[in-house]
Amino acid sequence: MNYTFLPNTDIKVSKVCLGTMTFGEQNSESDAHSQLDFAVEKGVNFIDTAEMYPIAAREATLGATERYIGSWLKKSGKRDDLVVATKIAGPNRGMGYIRNPLDFSKRNIHEAVNLSLKNLQTDYIDLYQMHWPERVMNMFGQRGVSKIDTQWKENFFEVLSIYDGLIKEGKIKHIGVSNENPYGVMKFISESEKHNLPRIVTIQNPFSLLNRLYEIGLSEIGLRENVGLLAYSPLAFSFLTGKHLNGIQPTSRLGLFPQFTRYSNENCFKATKLYKELAESNGMTLTQMALAFVNQQDFVTATIVGATTMEQLQENIAAFDTILSPKVISDINKIQELIPNPAP
């Protein structure tokens, strides 16, 4: 296992981060504990979750993922050996059952942090992330912003001030953003520098062979400002395993939750077929090539991998031993030029 540091911190993290959003929906508590045991045995020390998990989000299972992780942390006694990241849900997602209103007010942030601490059975959170911005903007299924949210009032300073208090209390160590755009990242950075407030250290956004939109704007910010990408969906909801090329598998996440359509359009099928042919012609599985590609990007701090079976998790973690040659990278880029970012 290779390791790095969360940018601008002394927190050492594995390049593989265990994603957990299936815990409590597709995976039982026993499954979750087995995955955590295996990942830690393989050297993974970085775990990512969120208050709204598991996915698909619903009121009946709210918080189950954090609770499963919490029961394992208590049982294993490994809390201080691990880096635990979680997230507060933002508004605009029809999740009023979490809190109403869903915003980043002081009351809501404190409530969310305290509930996550309780669920995780820990005294502190290493990385606390805003799951998506307060303002309405492009995220899933959209490629750009054509209208701005005139109802939202800028509050970057106020939000950072709230996190400053929580860091001083010892409840969280560092902060990050997720599903964010260049505008939000730079505003958070400029406000933190201007007022000596906590600086965001990570951006958790999608990045894969089917979605390289991070490279447009955010990658330069990340590299120049030393903010690391926590790349999620590196296998595009399992699409980049190639198993859906002959039709969506009914027991998969895409089969069980057909509302997640971003990876199943015609161009995703076309691009995935080309990537699979490229991988196999170079003696690799598509899974190996897809994960190795993400891992080799300079702007990636860690790649978040999840699984519903132990076999999948074993394959995913093992894929990080794969190193892609410059020729393979060049051939990948040719496919990207032919079918750019088919999954917005």
Residues with a known catalytic role: 53
Say if CB 53 and CB 64 are below 8 A apart.
Answer: yes
Sign of the Cα torsion 281, 285, 287, 292 reads: negative
Please list, residue by residue across 52-66, b when 16 or more beta carbons sit within 10 angstroms of its beta carbon and e when fewer do.
Answer: bbbbebeeebbbbbb
Alpha carbons 187 and 125: distance in angstroms, whole number: 24
How wide is the angle at C-alpha 257 spanned by C-alphas 253 and 260, nearest 5°?
90
CA atoms within 13 A on the CB side of 122: 31
Beta bridge partners of 176: 129, 202
Q: What letter represents residue 108's amino acid?
A: N
Q: What letter represents residue 85's amino acid?
A: A
**Can you give the C-alpha Rg of the chain in angstroms?**
19
Alpha carbons 36 and 18: distance in angstroms, whole number: 8
Phi, psi angles (nearest 5°) of residue 315: -65, -40
Q: CB count, 10 Å around CB of 339?
A: 16
Alpha carbons 222 and 232: distance in angstroms, whole number: 16
Alpha carbons 229 and 288: distance in angstroms, whole number: 20
Beta bridge partners of 3: 14
Q: CB count, 10 Å around CB of 14?
A: 24
How many helical (H) and strand (E) elements, i.e. helices and strands, does the chain have? 11, 10
Q: Which DSSP symbol is given to 203?
A: E
Among residues 7, 130, 20, the alpha carbon closest in space to that of 84 is found at 20
